[in-house]
Amino acid sequence: MDLLIAQITTSFLGWIIGLTLGGFAGYGAALICLSLLTRSESLSRYLTLIPWRTLVMALIILFWVPFWATGQFGLGIKSGVISVALQIFILTSLMFSFTFLNRWRETSLKTRLAGLSRTLAVFSVVLAAHYGIFGSGGINTLAVANINHPGDRSASTGWVVIITALLVVDLSLGLVEFLFWKYLDTEPR
């Protein structure tokens, strides 16, 4: 019973903290994006080349394993709450930004689906790194093996490999989106 209570407490407190802070951050990010987009209508196309998904996913993998939180607070509920709150903060910021921007500024269905597909493609790199622990193959297996050797320079090499893969996928798909923008943004709204 104690494990169940600890699990629910950690999840709920992390969710509340991450949701509250992430909601404000997402709203602020949406306001900044809206301000940029209202200055120039053609800017939307060029924003597809910004690899913000790489930044978000890099933060997710950075905090996926709570080295920082356990180093600061030790093992226990505090570290669990902070780790959950960080992940929820990142995801909430992203979701709230999308929600507010879609409400304030309509985009075509094709554009939204292309963006969501790109986000999932970038997230697949994070998942492949996660499953590299189980020897699923590819460069991520090497990267995860390097990350599992704390204190060694190979740990940072593992992070660099994963983040480089994130950047390659994100920018490649961003370039495709950029090149086919006129086909994505022509649908009636």
pLDDT tens by residue, 74-103: 676 777 788 888 889 988 998 898 888 888
* Residue 134 located in a structural domain: yes
* Residue 63 located in a structural domain: yes
Query: What is Dmax (Cα atoms) for the chain?
Result: 57
Number of domains in the chain: 1
* Residue 34 located in a structural domain: yes
pTM, 2 dp: 0.71
pLDDT tens by residue, 43-69: 777 778 888 888 888 887 777 666 666
Let me know: does 138 contact 158? Beta carbons within 8 Å: no
Residue 10 lies in domain: 2-184
* Residue 189 located in a structural domain: no
CA 57 to chain centre: 3
